[in-house]
Homo-oligomer: A and B are copies of this chain.
Amino acid sequence: MQIHGAYSAPTSHRHRTHMPEHKHIHPRAKDGTFFTSPAMEDDGNELHFCSTCAFSQVCLAEGYDKNDLQDLHVLVSHIGPFQPGEHIFTQGNRFNAIAAVRAGMVKTYTHDAHGREKILGFHLPGEIIGLNGIENNTYPCHAIAVDTVMTCHFTFEKMAILAAKIPTIQKKLFKLLSADINHAQHLAGDYSANEKMAAFLLSLSNRYAQRGFSAQTLPLAMSRVDIANHLSIAPETVSRVFKRLQEKQVIKVHRHHIEFIERGTLQDMVSDIQTTHTKPSTP
């Protein structure tokens, strides 16, 4: 960005951000160890939700699985697979639907005025994307497949109608929206590169663990540059933090996955930027 006129122009960007062309990314490691999701086996069909779906628990638990499942089914369409680099939706497109990730990893991103890629989030199966499009009836970001991705799309209008009929659905939607606010608020703030990385690793790990993956091992489908652009740090810094953490015996860095050695240390590094909200439970 330059401040011209009165301001002498700082010609250089604060970050050198590679502006990738979004071509094919390398598929995941063939080693299936880290990538087979227990949760993905019962993956839903024309009559049932995917087990990972944010709405399935709600509907099934509330006895809305008969008629209303049918209703919902009208507005659910399974889409995919998307190959790495393919867009699920595009910034500027008219907002018409929210999407649930069924399989794979989706990243949402925009560009700032400098042209730097700003990654809003990485989204795992069961997570909902596109809610930020409601405000202006336009997606304010791109959504792109990091690896091979399957999604469900819910026409938002129909979803809203259903929400009006089924309180639990409405509540779920409100909660999802609210959760996104909180998540985004956690991302903001001034944190050191170490803290950001620690929080990022823990957040991802926790979310994977919720889905039945090992908590000791963390697949990293995205590139270092992606991590950097998500945390607003330089890619070189990502490298260096990984190195330091490995030297300190906190984690073991393999190419595209991380092993946790001393998870506690990471947790100590994190202040309040955790994505996983620990709900007040019995002490």
Is A203 located at the chain interface by the 8 A CB criterion?
A: no
- Contact assessment for A178 and B277 in the assembled complex, using a CB-CB cutoff below 8 Å: no
A138 nearest CB across to chain B (Å): 7
- Contact assessment for A232 and B5 in the assembled complex, using a CB-CB cutoff below 8 Å: no
Is A22 located at the chain interface by the 8 A CB criterion?
A: no
- Contact assessment for B135 and A175 in the assembled complex, using a CB-CB cutoff below 8 Å: yes
Is A113 located at the chain interface by the 8 A CB criterion?
A: yes
Is A70 located at the chain interface by the 8 A CB criterion?
A: no
A226 nearest CB across to chain B (Å): 15
> Closest residue to A134 on the B side, CB-wise?
B178
**8 Å CB interface, A185-201 against B:** 185, 187-192, 194-195
Is A209 located at the chain interface by the 8 A CB criterion?
A: no
Is A6 located at the chain interface by the 8 A CB criterion?
A: yes
CA distance A88 to B62 in the complex (A): 35
**Contact flag A5-B134 (CB < 8 Å), given A171-B160, A189-B112, A272-B112:** no
Q: Mark A1-41, 1 if CB is under 8 A from B, else 0.
A: 11111110110001100000000000000000000000000
| B contact residues around A188 at 8 Å (CB) | 184, 187-188, 232
| B contact residues around A9 at 8 Å (CB) | 268
A73 nearest CB across to chain B (Å): 21
Chain A residues engaging chain B, CB cutoff 8 angstroms: 1-7, 9-10, 14-15, 110-114, 118, 120, 131-136, 138, 140, 160-161, 163-165, 167, 170-171, 173-175, 177-182, 184-185, 187-192, 194-195, 232-233, 244-245, 248-250, 262, 264-265, 268-273, 277, 279-280
